Each structure stands twice: as C-alpha cells, then as structure tokens.
Amino acid sequence: MGVPPRAGGERAQADGRAITFTLDLEDHRPDGSAELRYPTVMRRVLDWLDERSIRGTVFVVGEVAEAQPDLVRDIADRGHEIALHCWRHVPLTELSPAVFRDETTRAKAMLEDLSSAPVAGYRAPTFSLVPSTAWAIEVLGDVGFTYSSSVLAGHNPLFGWPGAPSRPFRWPNGLVELPVPVAGVGRFRVPYLGGTYLRVLPRPVVAGAQRLSRSDVSVPWTYTHPYDFDPDEPKWAVPDAGRLSPLLWAGRKRLFGKLERLLGDGNRAGPPLGERLSAADAGPVFSPSAGEATGSGRG
C-alpha cells in the first residue's frame, strides 16, 4: 500500500506539484461489432490506482453509463469522483443549445443516481468549448455544474480558445474553468499531459514542458482514456486521421510507467478535481465576449 490518498494529495499540493489523475470514459470503437474492451481495461486501470492510493476524476460519457452502469458504480465505490463527458461523444460544435441542455440534464441525473453523489464537473469532448460554442457555459451553470475542464487556451490544430487564460478562471456565471495544461509547439499549444501527446512524447520532453508550465498551471491534471492503456487492441483506421492513425496506438505499453513517474507512486498525485476548486476560487473572471481576463488574478 502507498501513502493514504488525502495525506499524499495534501502534501503534494502544498509544494505545488500535485497532478490530478483524470480519465475520459468513452467507447471509441468504430462500430458496435468491434470487441468490447474498455470495461476490462478500465478495471485494470482502477486496480493500478488502488495499489497507489490514487483517487482521481473520471469523466463519463452518458451513453457509456447507460451501457455499463455497474462499471460506473464500481468507479464511484473505489472513491473516484464521477463527472460528465457529454451524453454522446461528439464535439459541442455538432450540438444545438437545446439538445445539449436536454442531454446534459439527463446524463447528470443518471450519473448522480449511479454514483449516489452530486456531479459537479463537466468536460467537453475534445476540448470543444471554443468561442463558437460559448452558449454551453450558460447551460452548464443552469444545469448545476460547478466546474468545467473543457478549454484549451491557445491555438490548436483541433480545438482551442486563443486569449482564454491558461490558469484556472471563472466564467461570468460563476462556473469555474480548469483549462487543460498546455505547452507551446510553434504557434500551437498542445496538451502535453494527456492522451496521444503523453503517450508519444519522450518522458524528458513531458518533464521539461511540466517545468516550463509550472508557474502557469495551479491545478495541473493529466488525462487518459481506457484505450491509452490497451496495447493489444486490434488496429483500425481512425476516420479523418489518415496517416496519423497509428499514433493512436503508439506508446500504450509505456503509459503506466510514465504515469508512475509523473505521480510518484501516488505521493505526487492530487485529489479529484472537484476537491481542488478552492485553488481556483480566486482566479480571474473571463468573459467569452471579451478577449482578456479581468478581476482578481492570482499573479
């Protein structure tokens, strides 16, 4: 057994290194005929976390919760925070405000029922909270979310919000935003602590980016998906990824080892995101229509 999670998280937070483990629980199979692997892989990840006394935040897709209710109960029973990753795994750019409101309300209630706890956090698929989908902020506040981790502050080949603060901030309706930690690559900012970047970038590059961004990120978190831990998944062609498709499989074998280095056998892991909001409370207010943040920034 490692260090008790609270003690470890608090100690790590005190010296500003605590990285919270987060995972997006989604079914990324191209169609329903492919082998169902994520429930088994997810339980392997949960065992790994248990062995290190790490509690994190799991953002669950509503359709996944409907298909695998026992898995969601298991995650909650093991002490992790359950949060929402949209009802369906599509970017916000493909949803209307009315559909988003209906689906999000329904998904939040379902997750609260399964986890017997309030669901406070929301993450947009592929960080698709961008200026054109800013309507989602009001919906998330209305539906009762406390925080979001849906913004990539800067230019990115996929989705990004140039001009948004890279440190935690508040939207005008009070919703706290915990932006994905990013580091610069040319004119782009990439989320080096998650997904393909975390798997593919050499460990010294990740460590270097972490050092550079430390002053910028008061609530750092890593993000993963079940498939990131699944080297044996049969390969398929990812739509729109073309020749980059193999990148989705690269580095999967090494991910547990990389996380072990980042989280230090659990003693450098922070608590679930919902328990770290006080660190973001004094953040600036950023208005979607304004280009810059105002208010009481924390340096």
Chain residues in the site for Zn ion (CB under 5 A): 24, 26, 125
CB nearer Zn ion, residue 18 or residue 140:
140
Report the candidate in 92, 188, 83 with the shortest Cα–Cα distance to residue 134.
92
Instruction: In angstroms, give the least distance from the CB of 292 to Zn ion.
Output: 29
3-state SS class at 37 = coil
Distance between CA 38 and CA 226 in Å, rounded? 6
CB nearer Zn ion, residue 9 or residue 125:
125
Distance between CA 15 and CA 139 in Å, rounded? 36
Instruction: In angstroms, give the least distance from the CB of 63 to Zn ion.
Output: 12
Distance between CA 158 and CA 244 in Å, rounded? 14
Instruction: In angstroms, give the least distance from the CB of 280 to Zn ion.
Output: 22
Cβ-closest residue to Zn ion?
Answer: 24
Contacts of 22 (CB under 8 A, 6+ apart): 56, 57, 58, 59, 123, 149, 221, 222, 223, 224, 273
CB nearer Zn ion, residue 12 or residue 86:
86
Chain-centroid distance of CA 201 in Å reads 18
CB nearer Zn ion, residue 226 or residue 283:
226
| 216 DSSP 8-state letter | T
Instruction: In angstroms, give the least distance from the CB of 22 to Zn ion.
Output: 11
CB nearer Zn ion, residue 191 or residue 272:
191
Distance between CA 27 and CA 68 in Å, rounded? 11
CB nearer Zn ion, residue 24 or residue 81:
24
Q: Say if residues 120 and 147 touch (Cβ distance below 8 Å).
A: yes
Instruction: In angstroms, give the least distance from the CB of 94 to Zn ion.
Output: 13
